[in-house]
Amino acid sequence: MRATDRLGVVRVLAIIAVLAAVPLSAAVGVARYDAARAGIPADNAGKVALAATVTSDPTTVTSSRSIGYHDYYTATVQWVRDGKQSAARIEVPDTAHPGDQVALWLDRDGRPTTAPLPASSAAWEGIGLTLATLIELWIIIAALVGLTFWLRGAHPRSWALSRAACRVRWLRSGMLGADSADSA
């Protein structure tokens, strides 16, 4: 098989892989959606809302995220649950002052947690993972095809020999005229 034929095979395989990545990514996303759809109600069931009292002035916290920096405010809050007083440092609005009431969510163990997730977040988790998987697979395929073509260019002598062998075959078969052979 000539090198040019092998590159044609690489192109066909790349197209098949790009097309196969779509249902594969969809299957991964559906699996994530199913897991989230089952897990979100179970997580939400154990969350309890309480009113907590802010006991300190809010302080600014800066966190880095993949899209940049995010500032938010935290303060110490106190609450009473089942006759037991507890305190923790949680995220609060920047306008909070000591003595203000803020909403607080507790998990089954009585620790502060996030608010319950809406059921629609399961769909967004599935869609997000589908798109991330699809893009990752396409990048891998593009990198492999690019590597293949780069390696092809890394061996120009073998290409020259292959072209010369084809030219000799064409000359012997009469497909290439004598005047074309002189110019080549």
Mean pLDDT computed over 53-70:
83
Q: For residue 20, is it within any domain? A: yes
137: Cβ contacts below 8 Å, ≥ 6 apart = 17, 21, 24, 25
What's residue 178's pLDDT?
Answer: 55
Q: Among 91, 115, 139, which residue terminates a domain?
A: 115
Q: For residue 94, is it within any domain? A: yes
User: pTM for the complete prediction?
Assistant: 0.61
Gap between the Cα atoms of 98 and 105, Å rounded: 19
What's residue 20's pLDDT?
Answer: 95
Write out the residue range of the structural domain in which residue 154 sits.
1-46+117-171
pLDDT of 155 higher than 70 = no
Asked if residue 95 and residue 154 are part of one domain, the reply reads: no
Instruction: Quick: pLDDT tens for 123-141.
Output: 999 999 999 999 999 999 9
